[in-house]
Amino acid sequence: MGKKRIIQQTEEELLKERESVDAKVKKEIQVGPKKIKEGKIFISSTYNNTIITLSDLKGNVLAWRTAGSVGFKGTKKATPFAASKVAEAIAQTAEKLGIEKMEVEVKGIGSGRESAVRSLAARGIEILTIKDTTPIPHNGCRSPKVRRV
């Protein structure tokens, strides 16, 4: 089989690696030349996950977070605790972008709806409106034919 060789990196290579990681983190949040004062937050809460999207008033997406991207896995993604952690992460991003006032749109029937809105309010973001955009069927789809035996 032969001897196993361990490759050791020099200090220059380690510094280059650290710089590339720092550059990736800085690219994640790009702050434009003008500061945005108002924005919209879209909360999509399903039985399996909570997705929160931060956008400007026109609807252009600035940042988004999910329970999975924060670090939760499996059934824990659908909990109210995970939704509050996602809301805290998006509130921190909004603070970096300079957004102070928000319009909130909530969609879905998951358990993280209320806790996400509460944690946004607790982080000091001024919530202007809360709108529920959950799709509701008016009459539903056509029922199946009667079974004949």
Q: With 70 as the cut, is the pLDDT of residue 92 above it?
A: yes
DSSP secondary structure letter of residue 47: S
pLDDT band at residue 31 using 50, 70 and 90 as cut-offs: low
CATH 3.30.420.80 corresponds to the domain 34-132: yes
Distances (CA, A) of 47 to 23, 32, 79: 36, 35, 9
Q: Where are the domains of the chain?
A: 34-132
Integer Cα distance of 9 and 28 in angstroms: 27
- Which has more pLDDT, 69 or 15? 69
Strand partners of residue 131:
105
Query: Is the backbone of residue 98 left (phi > 0), alpha (psi -120 to 50) or beta?
Result: left
pLDDT 10s digits, 94-147:
999 999 999 999 999 989 999 999 999 999 899 999 999 999 888 888 889 999
For residue 30, the model assigns a pLDDT of: 56
pLDDT 10s digits, 16-25:
766 765 555 5
Integer Cα distance of 19 and 90 in angstroms: 25
Integer Cα distance of 104 and 107 in angstroms: 10
